[in-house]
């Protein structure tokens, strides 16, 4: 499955897709998902939320848009779950669109773990004090094949299961919702997590007419295409943080920020130069670099030298706690669990104890489906699909470098960083926040930092936020509070921009 590759016990794997769902490769192609019944009727319900500032009344609106295939016929549905503050008729009230990644993931993590007015706690839902609903309306988007979104015909999902097709579908969901609700000129913030960062960057050229005020990309997978040794360089600081978290290596006991900074300096300097030298690296120098790596990531120097210094995340996860018979989490390296039995046809990333997928390809959320039916009044008997690797397995990844005039659009490699830079030139009010977790080995913090630097974004309007978290940076109360603070900052910046005299800005050059 092409692109953004990292070695997974000899199996090439896409970093973007692995960010949430590590099981990319099946022993045989999975069967096509069955066509479902028609679009679900819209549903509107009224609710109230207790906040620190007092009672907040809001409406919940579930809707589906019909997506058409290349032949112009209805092919699939895409769902939005919106929360709108009651009693406001302000067409300029900000709107936040949020989605997760996978590919094959619904918006449920951002919806009921981070930003929605109701938050998962234990086996139920409670009011979410950190929701930004008091400041902006919220729209959660479930891509085709996830949530209640379904193909309408056999093969109807295929046009939307590629980087380009998915970007078009999600852009249509956003622009269609804004038009239908009379919010075409409202300030818009897009929040994408994991592959959702890929998606957000890929669809920016399709949102030129949207009043983009902010992008919040959480653990964003912004590297598509062969990365070579740079992926090993960017992973090393995350491995050092993981080692320290488990009492391994010379930096154990230090704060994760300090561990990451020290390891990043080594990774960008001596380690990168050693990898660049390849077989020209003198044995004595290889031994010195291996010894330095061992101090950082807690593996024996002999193991590192046997790998020619190229220790990837999967090798590290299996080796760090091998003496205890445990593997370390990829999405959250603080997690460790007994090594599971291998599953034929699946890469070792399937053993990630921080994901907890098990042997199934699909995670169905009975609780979220019940919430949408019982509290929001959605009339459907469908399962709510939180994560489906059946979609992930069928994803069509770009295989052709560049974006020339010929060939299938789905084969063209999108310029994600270039899209970010151009969007900031097209939208003078646009603020970009990239967020990473120190304990994330799926999209290491150094990779997110490098993406920010290589996009050449205006420094006054782009920033990186590092949190003591795993891949899901919003998974606990401090993460949710940090998310709320980021949204507040973007809304304040947009309000200040609207109150200031307009100035023109030349396009960003890359």
Sketch out the chain's domains with CATH numbers: 43-224+390-499 (3.40.50.1820), 226-349 (no CATH)
| pLDDT at residue 443 tops 70 | yes
Query: How much is the pLDDT for 328?
Result: 94
Given this model, what pLDDT does residue 461 score?
94
Cα–Cα distances (Å) from 114 to 51, 102, 365, 448, 494, in that order, read 15, 17, 16, 21, 22
| C-alpha pair distances (Å), 341 with each of 25, 346, 348, 461 | 17, 11, 10, 47
Of 32-46, 75-89, 334-348, 368-382, the poorest mean pLDDT is in 334-348
Comparison of pLDDT for 498 and 204, the residue scoring more: 204
Q: For 192-221, what is the mean pLDDT?
A: 96
Return the number of other C-beta atoms located less than 10 Å from residue 325's C-beta.
9
Quote the tokens at residue 52.
């620190």
CA 443 to chain centre: 9
What is the per-residue pLDDT across 271-300, written as a single tens digit (0 to 9) for each? Answer: 999 999 999 999 999 999 999 999 999 999
Q: What are the φ/ψ torsions at residue 260 (nearest 5 degrees)?
A: -65, -40
Q: Is the pLDDT of residue 107 over 50?
A: yes
Residue with tokens 């970007």: 167
Q: Say what the pLDDT of residue 408 is.
A: 62
Question: Are 160 and 120 contacting, i.e. CB atoms less than 8 angstroms apart?
Answer: no
Q: Which of the four pLDDT bands, split at 50, 70 and 90, describes residue 353? A: low
Count how many Cα atoms sit within 13 Å of the Cα of residue 470 in the half-sphere of its side chain: 21
Residue 236 pLDDT: 98
Mean pLDDT of 456-471: 94
pLDDT at residue 9 in the model: 27
Q: CA distances (Å), 489 to each of 269, 406, 433, 448, 496, in order?
A: 34, 43, 10, 20, 11
What is the mean pLDDT of the segment spanning 146-158?
Answer: 95
Of residues 247, 246, 191, the one with CA closest to residue 219: 191
CA separation for the pair 344, 324 (Å, rounded): 24
**What does the DSSP 8-state code read for residue 501?**
P
- Average pLDDT, stretch 67-82? 96
pLDDT at site 411: 67
User: Does residue 98 carry a pLDDT above 60?
Assistant: yes
**Average pLDDT rounded to a whole number, residues 303-330:** 94
Q: How far apart are CA 300 and CA 157, in angstroms?
A: 47
Phi and psi at 254, nearest 5°, equal -85, 155
Residues 6+ apart with CB under 8 A from 355: 21, 22, 329, 330, 331
Euclidean distance between CA atoms 340 and 350, whole angstroms: 9
C-beta neighbour count of 299 within 10 angstroms: 22
Q: Which of 327-331, 357-361, 402-406 has the lowest mean pLDDT?
A: 402-406
Q: Is residue 229 a contact partner of residue 204, using CB atoms and an 8 Å limit? A: no
């Amino acid at each position: 499955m092409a692109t953004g590759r990292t070695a997974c016990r000899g199996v090439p794997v896409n970093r973007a897709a692995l960010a949430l769902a590590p099981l990319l490769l099946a022993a045989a192609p999975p069967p096509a998902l069955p066509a479902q019944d028609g679009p679900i009727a819209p549903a509107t319900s009224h609710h109230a939320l207790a906040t620190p500032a007092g009672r907040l009344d809001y409406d919940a609106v579930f809707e589906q848009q019909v997506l058409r295939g290349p032949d112009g016929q209805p092919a699939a549905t895409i769902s939005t779950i919106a929360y709108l503050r009651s009693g406001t008729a302000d067409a300029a009230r900000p709107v936040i669109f949020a989605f997760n990644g996978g590919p094959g993931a619904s918006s449920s993590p951002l919806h009921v773990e981070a930003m929605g007015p109701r938050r998962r706690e234990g086996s139920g839902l409670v009011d979410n004090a950190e929701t930004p609903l008091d400041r902006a309306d919220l729209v959660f988007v479930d891509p085709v094949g996830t949530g209640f979104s379904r193909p309408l015909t056999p093969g109807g999902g295929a046009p939307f299961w590629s980087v380009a097709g998915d970007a078009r579908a999600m852009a249509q969901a956003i622009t269609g919702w804004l038009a239908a609700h009379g919010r075409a000129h409202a300030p818009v913030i897009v929040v994408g997590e994991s592959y959702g960062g890929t998606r957000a960057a890929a669809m920016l050229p399709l949102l030129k007419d949207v009043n983009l005020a902010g992008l919040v990309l959480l653990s964003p997978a912004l590297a598509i295409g062969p990365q070579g040794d740079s992926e090993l360089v960017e992973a090393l600081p995350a491995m050092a943080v993981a080692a320290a978290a488990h009492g391994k290596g010379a930096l154990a006991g230090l704060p994760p920020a300090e561990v990451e900074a020290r390891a990043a300096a080594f990774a960008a300097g001596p380690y990168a130069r050693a990898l660049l030298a390849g077989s020209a690296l003198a044995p004595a120098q290889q031994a010195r670099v291996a010894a330095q790596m061992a101090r950082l990531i807690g593996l024996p120097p002999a193991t590192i030298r046997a790998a020619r210094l190229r220790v990837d995340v999967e090798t590290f996860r299996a080796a760090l706690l091998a003496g205890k018979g445990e593997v370390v989490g990829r999405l959250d390296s603080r997690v460790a669990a007994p090594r599971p039995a291998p599953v034929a046809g699946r890469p070792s990333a399937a053993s990630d104890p921080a994901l907890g997928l098990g042997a199934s390809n699909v995670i169905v959320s009975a609780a979220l489906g019940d919430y949408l039916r019982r509290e929001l009044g959605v009339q459907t008997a469908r399962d709510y699909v939180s994560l489906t690797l059946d979609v992930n397995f069928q994803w069509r990844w770009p295989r052709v470098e560049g974006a020339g005039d010929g060939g299938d659009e789905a084969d063209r490699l999108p310029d994600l960083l270039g899209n970010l830079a151009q969007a900031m030139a097209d939208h003078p009010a646009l603020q970009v926040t990239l967020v990473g977790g120190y304990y994330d080995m799926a999209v290491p913090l150094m990779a997110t930092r490098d993406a920010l630097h290589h996009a050449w974004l205006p420094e006054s309007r782009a920033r990186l936020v590092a949190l003591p978290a795993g891949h899901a940076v919003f998974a606990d109360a401090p993460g949710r509070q940090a998310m709320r603070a980021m949204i507040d900052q973007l809304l304040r910046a947009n309000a200040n921009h609207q109150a200031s005299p307009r100035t023109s800005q030349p396009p960003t050059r890359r």
